[in-house]
A and B are shown apart, each in its own frame.
Chain A
Amino acid sequence: MAEPMAGTPEPITRLIDAFHKLPGIGPKSAQRLAYHILRAPAAEAEALATALRDVKERIALCSQCCNITERDPCSYCTDPRRDTTVVCVVEQPLDILALERAGGFRGRYHVLHGVLNPMDGIGPEHLHIRELLKRLESGEVTEVIMATNPSLEGEATAMYLHRLTGPLGVRVTRLARGLPSGADLEYTDDVTLSRALEGRQAF
């Protein structure tokens, strides 16, 4: 363990602690980052501090789709060319970027900010599900596309939302699941393979 040396000035230990709290940052990396900042020009450190403050002060969740945005409602929710009757439900804001890069989807989004994780106690109240229900109750949405990951938790979340929204009579669809491009059949797991077979298409 890279415990800061005794006598390390308090502002440095505080910065190390702050980095250490970030996901994927161990004690050694935290120390390296802190000393990097210490040696960096004042302007660089200032820019980082400003960026950190701005992201908390200026970025909020869109009151409609819960995507992160600088302006509420977000650009997807205010774009008049997007279909308001189809909502694509994703786990994270980054998933929207992936779908947008792929192109082809011209409806609206809804960001859950996580998935159900029954063993870790992550329940519906931890996700932005209430906001989704409110949107569906308004009656404008006719189709919900579940675009959660095909993991155990992603599937559980999609099935849960399907059952939860059942009484609202909205059509619920699931992204087709197949082989990722570049996948090697030999190493593909059985679930992915059998789902890909079921989703096969004629040439």
Chain B
Amino acid sequence: MTSRTRVYKTEGVILRRRNLGEADSVFTVFSPGAGKFEAVARGVRKARSRMRGHLEPLTRTELLIARGRSLDVFTQAETIEAYRPLREDLDRSALAIYVAELIDRFTIEHAENPGLYELLLATFDALAAGAPAHVVRFFELHLLALTGFELQVDACASCGDRLPPADTLLAPSAGGLVCVACRAAAGTGRIVPVAGIKVLRYARGCGIDQFAALRIDPDLARLLQGALTDVIQHVLEREVVSRRHLDEVARLSRASIPNPGQDVQ
């Protein structure tokens, strides 16, 4: 795609929306070929807008976009996949919003990353199909790898030594697991048991559906969630805002369902 093209066509996932003026909205889109970009939809907040429903966040949409002087403008939008199950279930909706925010935070504008786009679609597909919440760990691990922050889980992230099969520290500032000798210098982190290390290693080589089918003990799932949250916040140097909603929703479901089973992280 050359910068002289006046109109271009791409598919993309709508990550977020902000209102502009009386009736317009600016949407952040993540696309396979053009990476993340912003464009404005004129009049999209009017009831009669033809594009409105096709630009809802979390929608996979086919887009026609005209280059504008300051902001590009959507001229057509047609849903490819609406991911309805992600909108109509509180837990899945919270997870999908969190995934979308991470894509937004880990990408810079106009840097293509088709592998990351595939990962996003696979994650939404899995969540929409009812995969347990722990598939988001698969997403996080591959997101880190695809954006240059791969978590070191094979050998010590500090000295490269072999790791014995034992409880091991996962230190965000070291970028992965660290051996006992390096622990003191590696800063804070969480101790991950052998079963957890196996899950982290398994995620690298398996497909998302295989990972979704794993049975993970709720306590371990919670520990891995916390450990990866620490890593992500360390990389981003800031809080992931939608994490609060996710935690609040999980708290409510624990409070209201006596046996939450596998669905709770």
Contact B90 A156 (CB under 8 A): yes
Contact A119 B100 (CB under 8 A): yes
Which residues of B have CB within 8 Å of A162?
90
Chain A residues 91-118 with CB under 8 Å of chain B are 116, 118
Which residues of B have CB within 8 Å of A184?
50
Given contacts A118-B94, A163-B256, A191-B53, whether A24 and B21 have CB atoms under 8 Å apart is: yes
Contact B252 A118 (CB under 8 A): no
Contact B248 A155 (CB under 8 A): no
Contact of B87 among A121, A123, A152 (CB under 8 A): A152
Q: Verify if A124 is at the interface (C-beta below 8 Å from B).
A: yes
Per DSSP, chain B at the interface is helix
B241 to chain A: closest CB distance in Å? 5
Q: How far is the CA of A63 from the CA of B171 in the complex (A)?
A: 50
A24 to chain B: closest CB distance in Å? 4
Q: Verify if B57 is at the interface (C-beta below 8 Å from A).
A: yes
Contact of A123 among B16, B56, B245 (CB under 8 A): B245
Number of interface residues of A (CB under 8 A): 32
Q: Verify if B234 is at the interface (C-beta below 8 Å from A).
A: no
Question: Inter-chain contact count A-B, CB under 8 Å?
Answer: 87
Which residues of B have CB within 8 Å of A23?
19
Which residues of B have CB within 8 Å of A191?
53, 56, 79, 82, 84, 87
Q: How far is the CA of A164 from the CA of B90 in the complex (A)?
A: 11
Contact of A187 among B50, B57, B101 (CB under 8 A): B50
Contact A151 B56 (CB under 8 A): yes
Q: Verify if A194 is at the interface (C-beta below 8 Å from B).
A: yes
Q: Verify if A41 is at the interface (C-beta below 8 Å from B).
A: no
Which residues of B have CB within 8 Å of A192?
53
Contact B245 A116 (CB under 8 A): yes
Per DSSP, chain A at the interface is helix
A137 to chain B: closest CB distance in Å? 16
B23 to chain A: closest CB distance in Å? 9
Chain A residues close to B by CB (< 8 Å)? 23-24, 26, 116, 118-121, 123-124, 151-152, 155-156, 159-160, 162-164, 166-167, 180, 182-184, 187-192, 194
A-B contact pairs, 27 of them (CB 8 A): A118-B97, A118-B98, A118-B101, A118-B241, A118-B242, A118-B246, A119-B97, A121-B241, A121-B244, A123-B244, A123-B248, A152-B58, A152-B93, A152-B97, A155-B88, A156-B90, A156-B93, A156-B245, A159-B93, A160-B252, A163-B252, A163-B253, A167-B255, A180-B47, A180-B48, A190-B53, A192-B53
> Closest 7 interchain pairs by CB?
A189-B53, A118-B245, A118-B242, A187-B50, A159-B90, A24-B21, A190-B82
- 15 new A-B pairs (CB below 8 Å) besides A119-B104, A159-B93? A24-B21, A118-B97, A118-B242, A118-B245, A119-B97, A119-B101, A119-B241, A119-B242, A121-B241, A152-B56, A160-B248, A187-B50, A189-B56, A190-B79, A190-B84
